[in-house]
Amino acid sequence: MQRTIIGVVLALLVVTATVAAQHQHGDQAKPAAPAPAGSRRVTMEELHRAGGVPRGWKFTLPDGGDPAKGRQLFADLECYKCHLIQGAGFPPTGGEGKTGPELSGMGARHPAEYFAESILSPNTVLVEGPRWIGPDGTSIMPSYADSLSVTQLVDLVAFITSQGGGGHAQHDGPGEMQTVGPYRVRLVFEPVGERDHAGAHAGRGAGGHHAPTPGGTVGHLMAFVADATTGDPVPYLPVSASVQTQGAPTKVVKLVPMVGRDGFHYGADATLPQGAQRIVLTIGPTTMRVVGADRTRYARPRTVAFDWSAPAK
């Protein structure tokens, strides 16, 4: 019965997400072998520009996974041999000569479905990267579609998405994806010092480095706003962030369109006060001309709230 359910899930993946989410496996050292039938190659930059999932992604994973059980599965399946999670206590990677993408902090960068697709159907989307595609043009990641029950899949994904901190991908704040009206929105705050060259980020001032202040954490606030149906970034929107801190006036930060290492986003250099509890994004009506049946799609203002006091997921 469990294998039948997994088969149905895979069918949904193929039918509803032809360009389904990641698998972060590619090869840059040699000319790329042709992708298997039904696969598509993308770069990591393209994937991040779309908010962490390819265009048209609609698969939804059930809630309620148990990260503790998922961690045990991660160990039992020996996933740590290819995927490093810093500070998780697993043995070093590379024991079999294979190294997949590091998962430290990746829960803050991608929705749960991104990881579920990678586990079930790693050849659907082949993300180009060092030694992640084999000589035959397929992912070095095996499929676990016939090895996991639905409950096990949900638990394993819950463990991976719980890795919201640690490693180079760490961000302050939840970083989860939320849907409001026609938009899929993700909010990320990256403190200065998390990048090798903080001043290189688009929108930073000359020199780029800011000294820490007693009043909060200095960094770059980024709102990734994509169309909820297509996954495409939506430009020409007035976006502002209201930072709410108990016992202090609400701080409003205007976010402007920019492109950086993480792709197109609305951003601003900002200082988040210590004890910030909630950040509310306000997305105004678009200033661009929209034609056809979608002409009113982005015409209404929207607000979406992020609980900043919650631990990263």
Query: All domains of the chain, ordered by start, with CATH?
Result: 2-161 (1.10.760.10), 177-307 (2.60.40.2480)
Locate tokens 């705050």: which residue? 189
State what percent of residues in the chain have pLDDT above 70. Answer: 68
The percent of the chain in helix, strand and coil, each rounded to the nearest 5, is 20, 25, 55
The whole-number average pLDDT for the span 208-232 is 74
DSSP states of 76-109 as a string?
A: HTTGGGT---TTS-PPPS-TTS------TTGGGT
State what percent of residues in the chain have pLDDT above 90. Answer: 17
* Alpha helix positions (H), 32-185: 44-49, 67-76, 112-120, 150-161
Nearest to 297 by CA among 217, 223, 228: 228
- 120 against 20, higher pLDDT: 120
What one-character DSSP code corresponds to residue 192?
A: T
3-state secondary structure of 224: strand
Mean pLDDT of the chain: 74
46 pLDDT tier (thresholds 50, 70, 90): confident
CA dist., res. 199 & res. 205, Å (int): 7
Sign of the C-alpha dihedral, residues 183, 188, 56, 44?
positive
Element (H, E) at 8: helix 2-16
CA-based end-to-end distance of the chain:
31
Residue 237 has pLDDT above 90, yes or no: yes
β-pair type (40-43, 125-128): parallel
3-state secondary structure of 64: coil
Question: What pTM did the predictor assign?
Answer: 0.44
Supply 89's token pair: 């206590």
Q: Is the separation of the CB atoms in 142 and 49 below 8 Å?
A: no
With 0-12 / 13-18 / 19 or more C-beta atoms within 10 angstroms meaning exposed / middle / buried, residue 203 is middle
CA dist., res. 285 & res. 120, Å (int): 39
CA dist., res. 24 & res. 261, Å (int): 17
Q: Is the separation of the CB atoms in 178 and 185 below 8 Å?
A: yes
**In this predicted structure, what is the pLDDT of residue 99?**
77
Residue 191 has pLDDT above 70, yes or no: yes
CA dist., res. 286 & res. 46, Å (int): 24
Find which of 63-72, 184-193, 246-255 is predicted with most confidence, using mean pLDDT: 246-255
Q: Is the separation of the CB atoms in 160 and 152 below 8 Å?
A: no
**Which residues, in sequence order, are CB contacts of 112 under 8 Å at separation 6+?**
61, 65, 157, 158, 161
Which of 93-102, 121-130, 180-189 is predicted least confidently? 93-102
Q: Which residue type does 299 have?
A: A
Let me know how long the chain is: 313
Which of 57-61, 198-202, 258-262 is predicted least confidently? 198-202
- 106 against 257, higher pLDDT: 257
